Amino acid sequence: MRDNLKRTTLNDGGALLIEDAMSPGTKSKTVSRLLADDYSQKILAYTYSSPVSAQRLSKMCGIPIAACYRRIHDLEHVGLISIDREKEVYKGRRVRLYRCKLRTAVIRFSNGRFVLKYDVWPETGNGGEGHASSPQAMADYSA
């Protein structure tokens, strides 16, 4: 049985993040489920080239706002999307802009098992200006 340890970190915007420690098998299944989900695909596609707010994603993709926030949370939890930056929109009200971190993904069926291979862009540490020039090593998990 795995521990239900949680990791607490601060993101670039200073928001407190609490993440469950996920086993590779659990993470693989979660990532596979998200990559197959229509809403997640739209969110990843629209945030790939430039950061977008949840409100704008909801309107552009035709996703109800609550479902949009749920998918963003799930994608962020497995590292496929991140908060690029926050911007002030009106009298101190701040909006988070999200950016896709997924570079490539392949799901294949081999020898009676599903195998997921994907890689993500590394954190650049430059305030979110564009993707880094080199990706992280490809993660390989089997479901």
Give pLDDT tens digits for 13-58: 555 455 557 788 888 889 999 999 999 999 999 999 999 999 999 9
The tally of domains found in the chain comes to 1
pLDDT (tens digit, 9 = 90+) per residue, 64-107? Answer: 999 999 999 999 999 999 999 999 888 888 999 999 999 999 98
Is 10 a member of any domain?
Answer: no
Contact between 14 and 24 (Cβ < 8 Å): no
Q: 33 vs 131, which has greater pLDDT?
A: 33
Residue-range definition of the domain harbouring residue 84:
23-142
Average pLDDT across the chain, whole number = 80
Please indicate, yes or no, if residue 99 is contained in any of the structural domains: yes
Per-residue pLDDT reduced to its tens digit, 7-19 = 545 555 555 455 5
d(CA 111, CA 33): 21
Residue 123 near residue 140 (C-beta atoms within 8 A) = no
Instruction: Tell me if the pTM is above 0.75.
Output: no
Domain-located, residue 12: no
Q: In what order do the strands lie in the sheet with 113-120?
A: 102-110, 113-120, 139-142
Q: Which residues contact 55 (CB under 8 A, 6 or more apart)?
A: 65, 95
Residues 118 and 108 sit within 8 Å (Cβ to Cβ): no
Residue 134 in any domain: the answer is yes
- Domain-embedded: residue 78: yes
CATH number of 54's domain? 1.10.10.10
